[in-house]
């Protein structure tokens, strides 16, 4: 699938929030203004592997790895984060341009690593 070569102007904050941390209240208040999308990373897939977003819509991605320090990288959005297992990794973004943006695990995680990927579909 061909991706748009133009980068989306994504607003990005990365936070790794362990359950029970004091910072949880802050992230909850931000979540009130954002649509929350939960993603699970598990050898060798993301669930869901396709994330549907709308342009201009603030989104809070809550990604949980169950088994490995996977990575989450969206090259064309300049987004990447490590996903410590058992924690919720929070990413904030507001997609500015419609398109299809592939993401992948960029921490080698084993035999199926090359197939651990997905895509963000942004529509107007």
Instruction: Catalog residues that contact other proteins under the rule CB under 8 A.
Output: 1, 3, 69, 71, 73, 75-76, 82, 102, 104, 106-111, 113-115, 117
Measured from the CB atom, is 23 or 47 closer to other proteins?
A: 47
Shortest Cβ distance from residue 79 to other proteins (Å)? 11
Residues 6+ apart with CB under 8 A from 124: 54, 55, 98
**Across the strands, what pairs with 102?**
119
Shortest distance (Å) from residue 111 CB to other proteins:
6
Three-state DSSP class for 14? strand
Please, which residue, 60 or 118, has the CB nearer to other proteins? 118
How far, in Å, CA of 88 to CA of 60, rounded? Answer: 11
> Looking up tokens 């929350």, which residue turns up?
36
Q: Taking the complex as a whole, how short is the minimal distance between the CB of residue 108 and other proteins, in angstroms?
A: 4
């Amino acid at each position: 699938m061909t991706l748009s070569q133009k980068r989306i102007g994504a607003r990005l904050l990365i936070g790794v929030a362990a359950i029970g941390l004091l910072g949880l209240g802050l992230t909850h208040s931000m979540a009130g203004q954002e649509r929350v999308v939960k993603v699970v990373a598990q050898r060798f897939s993301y669930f869901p592997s396709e994330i549907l977003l709308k342009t201009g819509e603030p989104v809070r991605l809550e990604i949980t790895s169950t088994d490995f320090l996977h990575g989450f990288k969206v090259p064309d959005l300049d987004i990447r984060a490590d996903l410590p297992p058992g924690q919720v990794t929070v990413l904030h973004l507001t997609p500015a341009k419609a398109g299809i943006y592939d993401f992948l695990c960029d921490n080698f995680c084993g035999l199926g690593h090359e197939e651990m990927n997905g895509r963000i579909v942004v529509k107007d």
